[in-house]
Structure 1
Amino acid sequence: MLYNHITELIGNTPLLRIDPAVHQLPNVEIYAKLETYNPFGSLKDRVAWGMLQDEIEQIVEKQQTIIEFSSGNTGKALAVLASLYRINYETITNRIKVPEVHDLLRLMGASIEVLPGMSECPDPNDPNDPLTYLEQKIHADPSHYFHTDQYRNVKNYQTHYEHTGREIFEDLGAVDYFFGALGTAGSTRGVSTFLKEQFADLQTVGIVAEKGDFIPGLRNIDEMSEVGIFEKTLYQDILPVDAQDALSGMLTLISQAGVLGGPSSGAVYYAMVQYLKQQCLEWAEPKKVVFIVCDRVEWYLSYIQKRRPELFEQKVPEGSFWKLKATDFQHAPSIAPEHIERFLREEDPLIVDTRGSLAYKIGHLPNSLNIPDDKLADILTFGVPFPHERTILFVCPKGDISKKFAFFLQRKGYKAYSLEGGIIQWRKDHQQLLRSPA
């Protein structure tokens, strides 16, 4: 089959029926929409091209720089497209947690500017948020930039409405359940809107990451409220998944279905099967279920290696931090803002700020030290570097990740706590933040 341009390969991806022997659910037919077949490897190829297609000639003519807030697949696709059209691409991010993504963006010629962020998701109401910074940067030189604006651009979900949803319907007809990962929410909004117009009884279920856990491409439910195109009323249910369960789902897809999806696809598959186990027992007739395989596993080998070292024939330290499940630390000990002054005075704790180094430099609690969460997690996997006799207070942006560290150390016999509400709540209460010297 002959094509004249790489963008002609975007879309029209296969729909694969998953063998019932894999999911073992009665009265259920599960179909995987394999977005890994897009030319740059992910679902976001559609979105990137959808946001650029009608504008690209003008962007080239003006020699504008494409700019976006992205640390993942949208950024990769935009970087390739910018390179194809001999224009520049710049990504603004508050943190790229997967080394392979950073390396790929560099390889593709992208300019990467890393900023501190209060959460993994942009908050347009926060003057210190990376998205606000991006808009200020564009405002200073508007003719220089073309902002694709994936979190608020209606073309994000319209692309999936016009193409992804239509493709599923043309291949399968009416669909009973649709499951999708929630990041920008473009795919689930677009696909479910189209399918529901064809079959009013469609049930749409969104999948999010557990609070305090990290799954590439997924937000937690609090962060979804900050996404401009997210419409909560579209979903009959929204299910949280932790990283370990996401990897279990991913490994099932790889080993039993031959689908080389990444952690986000595994999260959707795992949550979907668990959700349908009870539902399907009540069905008299088979139901058709569709989920999206967002991207490929190869981008995430370092992420997987940290959390499942045994897969790489590496020794797994007993009580590894990376093996914690979200249910373990939901009730971790926290210090409420109204009690913090007394706690600091009486306990004189060692304060460990787990944010990125740039965010720490801009503003941190007095007398705190900075160990970014990914580095601290690696350290704790092999031993605790803190004196056993000291009380420890962990600090993060919202108080979710710090709970995980507090629980882990409490389990080892330490007096460890999390700052409830994190730096965001501390700032709201007008508490003092110190700035590091330049």
Structure 2
Amino acid sequence: MRYESITDAIGDTPLVRIDPAVHGLRGIDLYAKLEMLNPFGSVKDRAAWNMVRAGLPGARQRGETIVELSSGNTAKALALIAGMHGIGFKSVTNRMRIPEIKDLLLLLGAEIEELPGQSECLDPTATDDPLTLFHQRLNAPGSAHLHTDQYFNTLNTEAHATGTGPEIIADLDGRAPDWFIACVGTAGSSTGVARALRAHDPSVGVVGLVARKTDFVPGIRTIDEVQEVGLFDPATYDIIDTVGADEAIDGMLTLIRRCGILSGPTGGAAYHGAVRHLKALDDEGTGRRRTAVFIVCDRVESYLGYVRTRRPELLGMPPARNSVATLTDGEVRSATSIDVADARKWIAAERPLVIDLRGPFAYGALHIEGSVNIVDELFDELVRGGLPFGRRQPVLLACPVGEKSARYAALLTRMGHQDVRSLAGGIIAWRDAGAPLVRD
């Protein structure tokens, strides 16, 4: 095939059948839509091009910079498109959590600005959040930026309603699949594909996958985070289920080692969630073979650091010691949690060490007076080497909603710490109770 521009190669990605010997489903054919084979490497290529295309001539003429609140694949695609058209690109985000992506964006010539957002993703209702205020300024008249606005721009959804979804139907010989299983990030691909499939066949079942609140899976929101995304509509999904980091990595390994698909963890999460959901529906007595489709969003190479941190044994390194991934549900439930009122009394009487596990910008915006900020990834590294403080030192752990802190409290208790507690409901509960918070 011959193209006049690399952007002409966006779309028309393969739909590949997964060998039934791998997934074990008897009456269901499972297909992977390989969006990783878009020219810039991910499913976000479609949305990025669709959102920015019409505004490029005017932006170049006015000397504007393309700006997106992204720390991942959307930023990568937009940086490449901007460079092709002689325009600058700026990625604005709360926290760059994948070092390889940050390095790649810098290599592509992107400017990266990390703003002190109070939460891990944009919350348009938080009018005192610097990230929200920046988002509002980008959309104000007279802005010197071309803001693609992936979380609210319907062109994101349209890219998949007119492209990805119809391609799936065409590759299935004019039929929609019985099920579509999608990870939910900006919700553009899941919403757009679901719209196209259901327009063809209203009976298509749609499963949305979100990350467990205590886990980080690149490209996937937790159920709390996804509520803040403007494109998210819960009516799109028949079921919203959760996947964890280890499940995403396990699914990724299956796709890589058994199927030859160099999937990243998001695709692994989609595969794992699809097989788990479909096994309960796998009935050979229906009289026909049924079909299901999931999306492989991007490639594995950008996530080696993510794998190294969570599953070092896969890269020939010693297994992680003292990892929260090894906790049982019973251990987490038995961890000592303390509500806001009791925490305030305990702090006043015992002066425990208060550790805030949020990102530095969220901590800097508002935190408990006297608390120490140790970002959860760094705290994880510290704990793997052993107890980072004395066994008898009273410790109160706090995170956004009290779930990560509960897991670390359980782990420290297992390791022999004598008095560690988790702030129930996290910093949000502290704020909602009217307890004092300070800012840097």
Q: Which residue pairs with 2:206 in the alignment?
A: 204
> Paired residue for 1:432, among 415, 431, 436?
436
Map 1:58-207 onto structure 2 (within 5 A): 58-138=58-138, 142-172=142-172, 173-207=175-209
Alignment partners' CA distance in 1, 2:260 and 2:296: 12
Partner of 2:397: helix, strand, or coil? Answer: strand
How much does 1:356 deviate? Answer: 2.2
Contact 1:261-1:293 within 8 A present in 2 as well: yes
> Paired residue for 1:349, among 349, 352, 357?
352
Quick one: which amino acid aligns to residue 185 of structure 2?
G
Q: Which residue pairs with 1:251 in the alignment?
A: 253
- Cα deviations across residues 233-281 of structure 1 (Å, max 9, x unaligned)? 1111111011011100110010001111111111111111111112113
In structure 2, do the counterparts of structure 1 residues 307 and 338 end up closer, same or farther at CA, with 3 Å as the change threshold?
same
- Cα deviations across residues 360-411 of structure 1 (Å, max 9, x unaligned)? 2333212211111111111111111111102211112222322221121122
Contact 2:312-2:320 within 8 A present in 1 as well: no
In structure 2, do the counterparts of structure 1 residues 205 and 140 end up closer, same or farther at CA, with 3 Å as the change threshold?
closer
Contact 1:92-1:130 within 8 A present in 2 as well: no
Quote the sequence identity (%): 45
Alignment partners' CA distance in 2, 1:32 and 1:237: 20
How much does 1:322 deviate? Answer: 5.0
> Paired residue for 2:379, among 376, 381, 387?
376
Give the paired residue count: 436
Contact 2:311-2:320 within 8 A present in 1 as well: no
Partner of 2:41: helix, strand, or coil? Answer: coil
Alignment partners' CA distance in 2, 1:383 and 1:84: 49
> Paired residue for 2:269, among 267, 270, 295?
267
Alignment partners' CA distance in 1, 2:40 and 2:391: 49
In structure 2, do the counterparts of structure 1 residues 282 and 364 end up closer, same or farther at CA, with 3 Å as the change threshold?
same
**After the TM superposition, which of the residue ranges 333-342 and 143-152 deviates more from structure 2?**
333-342
How much does 1:325 deviate? Answer: 7.2
In structure 2, do the counterparts of structure 1 residues 5 and 374 end up closer, same or farther at CA, with 3 Å as the change threshold?
same
Alignment partners' CA distance in 2, 1:131 and 1:241: 27
Alignment partners' CA distance in 2, 1:179 and 1:344: 46
Alignment partners' CA distance in 2, 1:360 and 1:255: 41
Contact 2:312-2:318 within 8 A present in 1 as well: yes
In structure 2, do the counterparts of structure 1 residues 139 and 150 end up closer, same or farther at CA, with 3 Å as the change threshold?
closer
Superposition RMSD on alpha carbons, in Å?
1.8
> Paired residue for 2:401, among 398, 404, 418?
398
Quick one: which amino acid aligns to residue 356 of structure 1?
G
How much does 1:327 deviate? Answer: 8.1
In structure 2, do the counterparts of structure 1 residues 51 and 140 end up closer, same or farther at CA, with 3 Å as the change threshold?
closer
Quick one: which amino acid aligns to residue 40 of structure 2?
F
Quick one: which amino acid aligns to residue 182 of structure 1?
V
List alignment gaps of at least 5 residues for structure 1. none
2:20 counterpart of 1:28: no
Quick one: which amino acid aligns to residue 396 of structure 1?
C
Alignment partners' CA distance in 2, 1:292 and 1:164: 10
- Cα deviations across residues 400-437 of structure 1 (Å, max 9, x unaligned)? 3222211211222322222122222222323222333x
> Paired residue for 1:408, among 406, 411, 414?
411
Alignment partners' CA distance in 2, 1:262 and 1:327: 31
List alignment gaps of at least 5 residues for structure 2. none
Partner of 2:146: helix, strand, or coil? Answer: strand
Alignment partners' CA distance in 2, 1:380 and 1:169: 49
Partner of 2:435: helix, strand, or coil? Answer: coil
Alignment partners' CA distance in 1, 2:32 and 2:313: 28
Contact 2:26-2:284 within 8 A present in 1 as well: no
TM-score (norm 2): 0.95
Contact 2:30-2:292 within 8 A present in 1 as well: yes
Alignment partners' CA distance in 1, 2:428 and 2:33: 39
Quick one: which amino acid aligns to residue 405 of structure 2?
S
Alignment partners' CA distance in 1, 2:335 and 2:55: 50
In structure 2, do the counterparts of structure 1 residues 351 and 8 end up closer, same or farther at CA, with 3 Å as the change threshold?
same
Contact 1:33-1:292 within 8 A present in 2 as well: yes
Partner of 1:100: helix, strand, or coil? Answer: helix
Partner of 1:125: helix, strand, or coil? Answer: coil
